[in-house]
Structure 1
């Protein structure tokens, strides 16, 4: 959950929601918080690091758990691609003579080289780049406030971005589906369960706090930017924050913002590729994929070179995509996973343990059902191509599961999802 992503996707979110970006972030926060509650319940029930895969496998069925892990794989394969695509779009918006088709491979090559060398280098870079992007984001927000205060036609406090003058529900839901991309990562807290003191108390609290704090940042920042730029018209929606940065701070701030935006995407891309490559490595180690290839480690660097290069090659698909489509692909896998985690709460607490009473009815039945309804509604608001690809990916997973289980006659292989992997 990189804070600066709220600026990176502001243009496409503002257009998709009809100028109601804060309202879309708020709707997304409600849906994500309901799912975060379900993660908290399941973390108490199964304090292990497998996260959603483990919860669905144990509470419902191992085969459905396998398909949960398969859905997560779609997230991890598309996440580095979307991150690098956003960074390339911003660089191209400033240096028009260099096409995105040049910037994108540059991101991929440099990030892959860093990940092949090892996580220590990546970790050191990430800390530095995270601090830099946060400083740039704070400056962006302050300049937005200064810009609005200097324009008497723009009130600083208005409910228009939240739909006070009427808002189209389909547009807001479409925007919320895109906004959820910014929240993805709150669930990863559950992967640290086995390394946390008193995990059944600490991890659920952390999951809820991460969701609420992240949501607060996204709603507040998108509100400030939406007030400063209430129009949904941009030269290029994929890099709209550059245009706004020029209006509020001039050419010098545009360059400072671009540096913060690019390094933010660069840092996130390194982390996302590291996670994706290690998920593929884990699947190879557990013989879900060919072990000789996917579980290979470089003798020199002790890193999964093949899976790093595979994620890099997969990211080249971004040359034929835009930001909206690539983030929609990621969200489809996330929404499917979140739906199953909400369902696992009902199966574990109500059906298996037989808990009853008003509190259990609300916490283990009503709220999970609302979580399921909200994630399905968000899924239906996604780009049609994303839904079709997601369903196709799921169908491939069913066929592959049939192959691994000899047409469902033996249990599926057990996946050992380690730290940094859902």
Structure 2
């Protein structure tokens, strides 16, 4: 490894967990609740339980691969080292869809939400303000980004706690079902089970970001132990928060068909239990959450580009360079920021269509990487090894493929176009597959 392009280890387990929560955006439980309630016919909590189970399989595989390859690059590195560098490149290319477009989604949401609240200020002003702020924090270094992230995540968690407390008080005073304990948010026998599955297929997207922490493998202390822990903690704790909040929302407002607008259903629930004060606080917290997610996703994307650039799969002088003063991949951060300016002209629905294709394709290959590395290369084929390194990741891969195939047609078309462009570039890079793609040399 080129020692001149080496990231500094300054992050703790808690720091990386908070980064993962920011990328995942815990507040997404509010923004997706109304639509999920319609799709699941009021069984959002049950759909989240199914989604959590699905994501835990892939989280397990990320943890196993991070133990073996504690390097920046995430799914790209895992597939490159476990399967082959050609597949590794295409996985890295695919996951860039996730990492490059999530910051853009956050900027768009911030512009839409705050321009609605303050109509005198155009949305592009809000978008540019957030983009410049996020870029500045990430350029100045991971320590500053970490400090900001701790504050942001704590604020969001505090809001969730206050919302839950006020909601429970409202329920105890007869609001909604008037019941603190009921099974209907998990499963309503009067509804078909297929509605639970439909809700889960949507809500799996709420977990996107749990994998982002593996891109910080070169900046966390004791990565072989702490990265797998962080991935598991983020997935499990995030899922439990989603389940609890959605369960409470359903009890506060049991009639999912009574929302004025499913997209803003959570705002109606928040106003019901907390009035204008809590609604105002939600506006602030929403902005905080968008900033945290944009910051974490931009930082993660920069590190994937750094790993691919350092390996020579992207121009090394541009992408594989660290700023000497800040020890951050400044070139990559600025490139992502310039790319994110497309938020000024693209629609939210179009940008969102790109994200899930890349994520689930990468998730699939991380599961396959576990099988390739442990079961076939390391020959861990005892009964325990077969369960841990074949059956569990196989289940994860099958579930991820199922989710990939169930994406909307726009996601599949746009994702396939992006993947095709990556294949064309790979043909150019390898002179028609006549030579192996450049790759970083590590001991396996």
For 2:185, what is the secondary structure of its paired residue?
A: helix
CA distance in 1, matches of 2:114, 2:197: 29
Greater CA deviation, 324-333 or 35-44? 324-333
Gaps of at least 5 residues in structure 2 are: 1-20
CA distance in 2, matches of 1:193, 1:125: 20
| Residues 199-247 of structure 1: CA deviation (Å, up to 9, x unaligned) | 5555434432332222111111121122222315544444433222111
1:33 lines up with 2:56 in the alignment = yes
1:361 lines up with 2:386 in the alignment = yes
Gaps of at least 5 residues in structure 1 are: 418-422
TM superposition shift of 1:136? 1.3
Distance 1:252 1:386, change over 3 A: same
Distance 1:297 1:360, change over 3 A: closer
Q: What pairs up with 1:230-379 in 2 under 5 angstroms?
A: 230=254, 231-232=256-257, 234-291=259-316, 293-294=318-319, 306-318=331-343, 326-379=351-404
The structure 2 residue matched to 1:217, chosen from 230, 234, 241, is 241
For 1:407, what is the secondary structure of its paired residue?
A: coil
CA distance in 2, matches of 1:380, 1:72: 17
The structure 2 residue matched to 1:67, chosen from 90, 106, 110, is 90
The structure 1 residue matched to 2:424, chosen from 395, 399, 403, is 399
* 2:205 corresponds to: 181
Distance 1:365 1:15, change over 3 A: same
CA distance in 1, matches of 2:258, 2:346: 21
| Residues 332-376 of structure 1: CA deviation (Å, up to 9, x unaligned) | 212111111111222223323333343233222222221112111
CA distance in 2, matches of 1:416, 1:83: 36
TM superposition shift of 1:162? 1.9
* 1:10 corresponds to: 33
CA distance in 1, matches of 2:318, 2:69: 32
* 1:134 corresponds to: 157
Q: How many equivalent pairs are there?
A: 417
For 1:162, what is the secondary structure of its paired residue?
A: coil
CA distance in 2, matches of 1:297, 1:353: 34
* 1:420 corresponds to: none
Q: Is the 8 A contact 1:174 1:378 kept in 2?
A: no
Distance 1:314 1:6, change over 3 A: same
Distance 1:98 1:215, change over 3 A: same
TM-score by length of 1: 0.86
Q: Is the 8 A contact 1:173 1:381 kept in 2?
A: no
CA distance in 1, matches of 2:326, 2:80: 34
TM superposition shift of 1:20? 2.7
CA RMSD of aligned residues (A): 3.1
Q: Is the 8 A contact 1:339 1:376 kept in 2?
A: yes
Q: Where in structure 1 do 4 or more consecutive aligned residues deviate above 6 Å?
A: 195-198, 296-302
Q: What pairs up with 1:149-160 in 2 under 5 angstroms?
A: 149-151=172-174, 154=177, 155-160=179-184
TM superposition shift of 1:48? 4.5
